[in-house]
């Protein structure tokens, strides 16, 4: 399972995401979605804006996909 290192400000989330394997990255995305839904239910309304985890994860997956295609060419 992926682990977020909140105490390490010298290692931002963008860099942590890059170190995860594909399966770990998808697990992390799933966990952030679950947490966001949970927070919305607990607060009886929309949760506070997340720090863009979904955007970062999607960008990393797109980059990896492009790199795989470039390697095959």
17 assigned to some structural domain: no
In a domain, 57, yes or no: yes
- Residue 4 resides in a domain: no
Q: Per-residue confidence at 25, pLDDT binned at 50, 70, 90? A: very high
Q: CA-CA distance, 13 to 41, in Å (whole number)?
A: 25
**3, part of any domain:** no
Q: In which domain, by residue range, is 69 found?
A: 22-33+52-73
Residue 69 maps to a domain = yes
Q: Is the pTM of this model over 0.75?
A: no
Residue 72 or 56, more confident: 56
pLDDT of residue 27: 92
**Distance from the Cα of residue 65 to its chain's centroid:** 16
Number of domains in the chain: 1
Mean pLDDT across the chain: 81
| 2 has pLDDT over 70 | no
Does residue 44 lie in a domain region?
no
């Amino acid at each position: 399972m992926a682990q977020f290192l909140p105490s390490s400000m010298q290692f931002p989330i963008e860099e942590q995401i890059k170190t995860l394997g594909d399966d770990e990255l998808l697990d992390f995305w799933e966990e952030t979605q679950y947490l966001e839904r949970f927070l919305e239910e607990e607060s009886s309304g929309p949760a506070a804006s997340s720090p863009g985890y979904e955007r970062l994860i999607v960008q990393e997956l797109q980059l990896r996909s492009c790199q795989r295609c470039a390697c095959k060419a």
